């Protein structure tokens, strides 16, 4: 494998998951599988097992800013992946730094709450999140629940009219939206990638990414974190958005199929499925 430094310098800005299945720890592992050593700035410490999150402790916005400042003193990253952000102040701190490097691709996984129900970003911070962060991203990767909260549409509308949800999200300013259908029903896992048309803002190009749903007897932890990091890693390798998303989704499907379980909690992804 090529030496990590030659393959890019990713920056991850995300919450710590000490169980190792999601968050910052998952992101760093995924980047490593693509041959990249990621810089990693924690935005929050969580207390959790693989089964549930019991506490979220925000990192003070000034401390997030100073970590970013010192990490970036070594030069700009080749790609940025943003995950959990715990409050409006941290959202602003991250947005301020990203505004200084507008040519760097940013993949944002809008983790508003954990699947076990623990709130991460307070509802009152969502308008700031949309205005200063979603607006600046290359790609935003909501699931249906997150898309409903970000757009103000009902979840039923997001499920029945995904193109409306994608168009509404694109109006906030990102270049592309990956609306994930993984938490829905049925025997297929259908994601939709909506890409802004620079010539006609009202008509995004939408690609349907259809994969077989792998029967899940137990939840898998960290799928959204791993998918967004895999896409970001592929962008850092110079792949175009659509092939990067297609290949990352195929990687994730294999990682879910190979997931393992130590106790009664959620399974961990098969990290070896990632890599290019």
* Contacting range for ligand PXL; rule: CB under 6 A; set: 13-21, 66-74, 228-236, 257-265: 13-21
- Residue of 68, 140, 166, 225 interacting with ligand PXL (CB under 6 A): 225
Nearest distance from residue 14's CB to ligand PXL, in Å? 6
Query: Cα dist. 193→13, 49, 139, 190 in Å?
Result: 23, 32, 9, 10
Closest by alpha carbon to 108, among 85, 89, 88, 131?
85
The Cα–Cα gap between 91 and 239 comes to 28
Residues within window 154-193 making contact with ligand PXL, judged by CB under 6 A? none
Q: What is the CA radius of gyration of the chain?
A: 17
The Cα–Cα gap between 29 and 27 comes to 5
Two tokens, residue 129: 């999140």
Torsion of CA 255, 260, 266, 272, to 10 degrees: -30
Closer to ligand PXL by CB, 206 or 214: give it: 214
231 near ligand PXL, rule: CB under 6 A: no
22 near ligand PXL, rule: CB under 6 A: yes
- Residue of 149, 178, 222, 268 interacting with ligand PXL (CB under 6 A): 222
* Contacting range for ligand PXL; rule: CB under 6 A; set: 17-25, 199-207, 208-216, 247-255: 17-25
Closer to ligand PXL by CB, 53 or 236: give it: 53
Site string for ligand PXL, 80-99 (x = CB under 6 A): ---xx---------------
The Cα–Cα gap between 168 and 173 comes to 10
Nearest distance from residue 120's CB to ligand PXL, in Å? 7
Query: Cα dist. 17→76, 129, 134, 170 in Å?
Result: 26, 22, 23, 30
Two tokens, residue 179: 């609306």
Using Cβ positions, the residue closest to ligand PXL within the complex turns out to be 23
The three-point CA angle 177-180-182 to 5° equals: 175
- Residue of 9, 11, 13, 15 interacting with ligand PXL (CB under 6 A): 15
Closer to ligand PXL by CB, 48 or 175: give it: 48
Which helix or strand (DSSP H or E) is residue 166 part of? helix 162-170
111 near ligand PXL, rule: CB under 6 A: yes
41 near ligand PXL, rule: CB under 6 A: no
Q: What does DSSP say about strands 139-140 and 53-58: parallel, antiparallel, or unpaired?
A: unpaired
23 near ligand PXL, rule: CB under 6 A: yes
Using CB under 6 A as the criterion, which residues of the chain lie in contact with ligand PXL when the complex forms?
14-17, 22-23, 46, 48, 53, 83-84, 111, 114, 222, 224-225
């Amino acid at each position: 494998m090529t030496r990590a430094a030659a393959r890019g310098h990713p920056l991850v800005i995300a919450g710590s998951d000490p169980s190792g299945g999601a968050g910052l720890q998952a992101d760093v592992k995924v980047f490593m599988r693509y041959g990249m050593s990621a810089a990693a700035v924690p935005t929050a410490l969580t207390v959790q097992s693989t089964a549930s999150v019991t506490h979220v402790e925000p990192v003070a916005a000034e401390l997030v800013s100073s970590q970013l400042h010192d990490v970036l003193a070594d030069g700009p990253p080749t790609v940025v992946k943003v995950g959990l952000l715990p409050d409006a102040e941290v959202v602003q701190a991250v947005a301020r730094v990203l505004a200084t490097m507008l040519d760097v691709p940013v993949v944002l996984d809008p983790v508003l709450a954990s699947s076990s129900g623990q709130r991460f970003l307070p509802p009152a911070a969502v308008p700031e999140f949309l205005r200063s962060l979603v607006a600046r991203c290359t790609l935003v990767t909501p699931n249906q629940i997150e898309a409903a909260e970000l757009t103000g549409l009902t979840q039923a509308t997001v499920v029945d009219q995904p193109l409306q949800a994608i168009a509404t999200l694109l109006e906030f300013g990102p270049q592309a939206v990956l609306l994930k259908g993984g938490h829905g029903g049925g025997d297929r896992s259908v994601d939709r990638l909506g890409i802004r048309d620079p010539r006609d803002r009202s008509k995004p190009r939408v690609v349907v990414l259809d994969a077989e749903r792998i029967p899940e007897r137990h939840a898998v932890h960290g799928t959204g974190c791993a998918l967004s990091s895999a896409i970001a890693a592929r962008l850092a390798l110079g792949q175009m958005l659509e092939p990067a998303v297609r290949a990352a989704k195929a990687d994730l499907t294999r990682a879910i199929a190979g997931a393992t379980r130590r106790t009664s909690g959620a399974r961990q992804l098969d990290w070896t499925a990632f890599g290019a």
